[in-house]
Amino acid sequence: MKDLMTEAHMLTKEDVTVLILSAKKRTRLKWEQIAESIGLSPVFTHSACMGMNSMPSDKAAALVALLDLPAEAQEVLEEYPTKIWEQAVPTDPCIYRLYEIVGVYGPTMKALIQEEFGDGIMSAIDFDMVITRVPNPKGDRVKVEMSGKFLAYANW
């Protein structure tokens, strides 16, 4: 891999992700701490750090300062992403289970959304998500709350 620090003026989103992950490991910060420090949610912060969203200028600057990244990383963090991901079912167990949830419950979620709101979708653009731990005597639970604007299909 090219030396990311000497070619900082040519950084890509992938390069910045590597720099962020390296800095996170070096600083031992959790995503929650990073997000709180720059004033964004942990979910959005991680997504933007992985290149899947663009950061507002002030938040990108704060992240660059917090993690001591090259100044050029700010511009890359602000760039609009190209959201391309593999369409094959992933093998990572945590991500696979999320695919499984959508595979099993996706049609149910769609039916219930449309029954409540009408013919349309939940936005993944005007969207937020919170992941929390819920103590449970049988083993702690993962709670995923998603909230997206309802977008009705247009008739034309």
User: Nearest Cα to 83, choosing from 48, 56, 110?
Assistant: 48
Q: Report in angstroms the alpha-carbon separations of 76 from 24, 55, 93.
A: 18, 9, 30
Assess whether 100 carries a catalytic annotation. yes
Of 97, 116, 133, 147, catalytic: 97
Assess whether 78 carries a catalytic annotation. no
Of 22, 123, 141, 147, catalytic: 123
155 secondary structure, DSSP code: P
Query: What is the distance between the terminal CA atoms of the chain, rounded to a whole angstrom?
Result: 50
From CA 79, how far away is CA 56, in angstroms rounded? 9
Q: Report in angstroms the alpha-carbon separations of 122 from 2, 93, 95, 107, 149.
A: 40, 26, 21, 13, 6
Assess whether 37 carries a catalytic annotation. no
Of 26, 100, 141, 147, catalytic: 100
CB atoms within 10 A of CB 30: 11
What is the set of active-site residues? 97, 100, 123
